[in-house]
Structure 1
Amino acid sequence: MVVLSESSAAAVAATLPAVQAHGEAVTGRFYQRMFDAHPELLNIFNQGNQATGQQQAALAAAVVAYAEHLTGVSGLPWGPILDRIAHKHASLGITATQYPIVGRHLLAAVGEVLGDAVTPEVAAAWDEVYWLLACKLIAREARLYTIADVAEDGSVWRDWRVAERTRETVDVGSFDLVPADGGPVPTFTPGQYVSVAVDLDGGQRQQIRQYSLSGRPGADHWRITVKRVRGTAGAPDGIVSTHLHEQVAVDDTLRLSPPFGEVSAVGDGGPLLLVSAGIGLTPAMAALEHLAATEPERPVALVHADRTGAGHARRQELPRLQQRLPNLSVQLWYEDAADGELAGLKAEIAEGRVDPELIPLAPGVQVHLCGPVPFMAGVRGGLLRRGVPAERIAYEVFGPGMLRATRR
């Protein structure tokens, strides 16, 4: 068990409210300082999330939550959160040598924002908090790299060739990928994701995004299903998703990480409930493909929400999966259900948003959720009220809002 020293615990507890109140100002200053000193790190961080402030908010929440954990303010289980952060870091190729850089600029930002309140004793206490967290993450990430058989040079990246492209909807496309060197295709657990690194501006800039593996584990290729992010309310279009949709063709090469992600979409047996919204369907599709090949008699319920039937990516695959999974029930919710019918699909189709009270629940069901954070929070809350234990509800969050979702 990790414990702060007595003097540090007192200093952190006394200054925690101030750090919490100014957390996003601290992390905003931190990123500015770090990128000015180390512009090469811009290639790792999602610049879209930087622009919207989501990354700054997520980091502030993580630091504060860990300090609350160490000082006993919060009883939130910390192990699952550490695992989630470690998997995200490993998928980006974060190294132990980068932690001193982060620590130096983060603690300097605390001093700049809080000013005279940061005495030498307070600075030392928060330095202790940071390094307790950093050492935990470094150890977990080292283990993940070993399991993933990362190359001796420490690089997580491998070249993959686009073998096929499929247009699923106007804004969603699937990419089937095979190793460019002709080597074996690693397997994965449904619910895991890979990082995709693309070169922009003629190779002058790199950006990385994570995409769930949406095909069958054990196949001779990997599949990712990518939604093109169109900017709304002043936010920019998604840089990487737009690049993939507009610039990447069959036989082009992409750099991918090994599969990471601590959440399994199939659980450990028994009835399974998959609940998704929008592009959150990707881990559910991998789970259905996996079960069709390995446990075809398992009871499974799929509940999916989308704006329209025409916008529901890979919907045409459901009749085939129902034939292979005789105990699969499908419930679809569309904001506009006018075009909800599909030949051969046996499904309940309703208009509106998912009502957790109407989701079928088998005794002892295991649940996997994936979609926007507000959607998952609403569904999870409804399932908890209906008696589903929290430990039987797993969920995957796209983007940096993972800690807030975990704490709900």
Structure 2
Amino acid sequence: MDTKTIEIIKSTVPVLESKGEEITIAFYKHMLGTNPELKNVFNQTNQKRLTQPRALAQMVLQAAKHIDHLEALLPSVKLVAEKHRSLGIKPEQYPIVGENLLWAIKHVLKDAATDEIIQAWAEAYGQIADVFISIENGLRDEVMEKGGWEDFAPFKVSDIKQESSIIKSFYLKPESGQPLPLHQPGQYISVRVRIPGSEYFQIRQYSLSDVPNEDYLRISVKREEGGDQYPEGLVSNYLHDQIKPGDTLEVSAPAGEFTLQSSERPIVFISAGIGQTPLMSMTKKVIKENPKRHITWIHSAKDADKLAFKEELTKLKEKAPQLKIHIALSQDTNKYEDIKRYGRIDSEWLEKLIESKDADFYFCGPTTFMSQIYNILIGWNVPESQINYEFFGPKGDLAIKD
């Protein structure tokens, strides 16, 4: 891009800060209205909750701010590209997105969106789209080179285990009978289903909850309560109520950047609710490959009935004395003997449990919980390079705003 185009893009930063979310809401509504086939890809719950438009608004804003050095956005781009590859986003869909994004800018800003501004953003979008397409093509090639598969493949549900009152584990084996490429602990897969009575496919992403192996993939799914306004339980309830051993599910190859980093520092896992799932895979991997590495796992659940993996946690502690598990429950049900605290995880309790702050921290759970943990760690001056976390859904911002 030339200097003039860059200046024009940067001049739109103030309006994107005030109108960005309005633009992206209009964008999704218009695009999905004129291209309804894309409803097979985009999570409609995220649309209704506005999490997807908000995430896109932040990415567009950051692109405008860093238009003269887009390489600063590469970590965020890689995260989104991983999700796109897992969802089956295709290069030919990018022009559709660009056309509708420019329409939304003009629709919201009206006369303020001059031809000059629209032309500058068209050029900028073209370059940004090329970056995404290049990275996603590379990810697809990498998956295939490692013995994976493109888009979705049929997997047989070989077993289902009730892990808690609201969580079930689904063991998935490829119908091809071929050995699976080993995924990285902490990664996720996309599951695509067509629910009876629904016109479109529904795709949801679930963390892999067991140690990598060549035989099966395991996801552990929380039944979401949902409701008429935000039907987030559409797929999870379908899996819980309708899917039985022997059924087939369509599954993408594993994806994701929330993986174990190369280090010998102690590990601290912190989770809440279904945030246990990626950390289960990580814990088993560390114990298997580095049995002397110290692990502290601090987990919060609403009550003992909703605490998953009780048997596995007990066996892991017996197998690995260097693993210390601390459970906090919001409600006192007296049904699980290993409860260390009744109430929420807070900074004071964490400090009592964590032997050294020079550790690698991994955490996952609801966004409000992760924001709390992130800001505690930043307050302790833990380096960003030692802080790792996973969003369930579109990526957000965990930092407390002044």
TM-score range, shorter chain: over 0.9
Pairwise CA distance, 1:211 = 0.2
Partner of 1:120: 115
Q: Is it true that 1:304 corresponds to 2:299 in the alignment?
A: yes
Verify the 8 A CA contact 2:375 2:399 in the aligned structure 1: no
Q: Where in structure 2 are the equivalents of 1:153-172 lying within 5 Å? A: 155-172=150-167
Question: Does the residue aligned with 2:106 lie in a helix, a strand or coil?
Answer: helix
Flag structure 2 segments of 5+ consecutive residues without an equivalent.
Answer: none
How has the CA–CA distance of structure 1 residues 185 and 142 changed in structure 2, closer, same or farther, with 3 Å as cutoff? same
2:356 alignment counterpart: 362
The two structures have a TM-score, normalised by structure 2, of 0.93
Moved over 6 A (4+): none
Q: Which moved more, 1:296-305 or 1:198-207?
A: 198-207
Matched, 1:283 2:278: yes
Structure 1 window deviating more from structure 2 (254-263 vs 214-223): it is 214-223
- 1:9-88 → structure 2 map (5 Å cutoff): 9-70=6-67, 77-88=72-83
Alignment partner for residue 342 of structure 2, among 331, 344, 351? 351
The Cα of 1:67 is off from its aligned counterpart by: 1.1
In the alignment, the residues of structure 1 paired with residue 295 and residue 155 of structure 2 have an alpha-carbon distance, to the nearest angstrom, of 33
Indicate the residue corresponding to 1:260 in structure 2.
255
Aligned residue identity for 1:7: K
Counterparts of 2:400 and 2:91 in 1: how far apart (Å)?
27
> Whole-Å Cα distance in 2 between the matches of residues 5 and 261 of structure 1?
34
Helix, strand or coil: the match of 1:250?
Answer: coil
Q: CA deviation at 1:134?
A: 1.2
Q: How many positions carry a matched residue from both structures?
A: 397
Contact 2:371 2:399 in 1 (8 A): no
Provide the C-alpha distance between the structure 1 equivalents of 2:15 and 2:381, rounded to a whole number of angstroms. 38
1:200-233 CA-to-partner distances (Å, cap 9, x unmatched) read 2357320100000001112521100000111269
Q: Deviations over 1:86-126 (max 9, x none)?
A: 11111101111111110011111111110111111111111
> One-letter code of the match for 1:404?
D
Deviation at 1:77, TM superposition (A): 4.4
**Offset of 1:36 from its aligned partner?**
2.3
SS at the partner of 2:67? helix
Matches within 5 A, 1:2-401: 4-70=1-67, 77-149=72-144, 155-201=150-196, 204-218=199-213, 220-231=215-226, 234-265=229-260, 267-339=262-334, 341-342=336-337, 349-359=340-350, 360-362=354-356, 364-400=358-394
Q: Secondary structure at the match of 1:187?
A: coil
Unaligned runs of 5+ in 1: none
Q: Normalised by the size of structure 1, how large is the TM-score? A: 0.91
Name the SS of the counterpart of 1:275 in structure 2: strand
- Distance in 1 separating the partners of 2:71 and 2:268: 25
In 1, Cα distance between equivalents of 2:124 and 2:93: 17
Tell me the C-alpha RMSD between the 2 structures.
Answer: 2.3
Conserved? CA contact 1:198–1:206, under 8 Å: yes
Do the aligned residues in 2 keep the contact of 1:48 with 1:238 (CA within 8 Å)? no
SS at match of 1:70: coil
Instruction: Give yes or no for contact 1:211–1:225 (8 Å, CA) kept in 2.
Output: yes
When residues 353 and 58 of structure 1 are mapped into structure 2, their CA distance, relative to the original with a 3 A threshold, is same
* Whole-angstrom CA distance in 1 between matches of 2:400 and 2:207: 22
Seen in structure 2, the aligned counterparts of structure 1 residues 94 and 76 have a Cα distance that, compared at 3 Å, is closer
Percent identity between matched residues is: 35
Q: Cα distance 1:405–1:14, how it changes in 2: closer, same or farther (>3 A)?
A: same
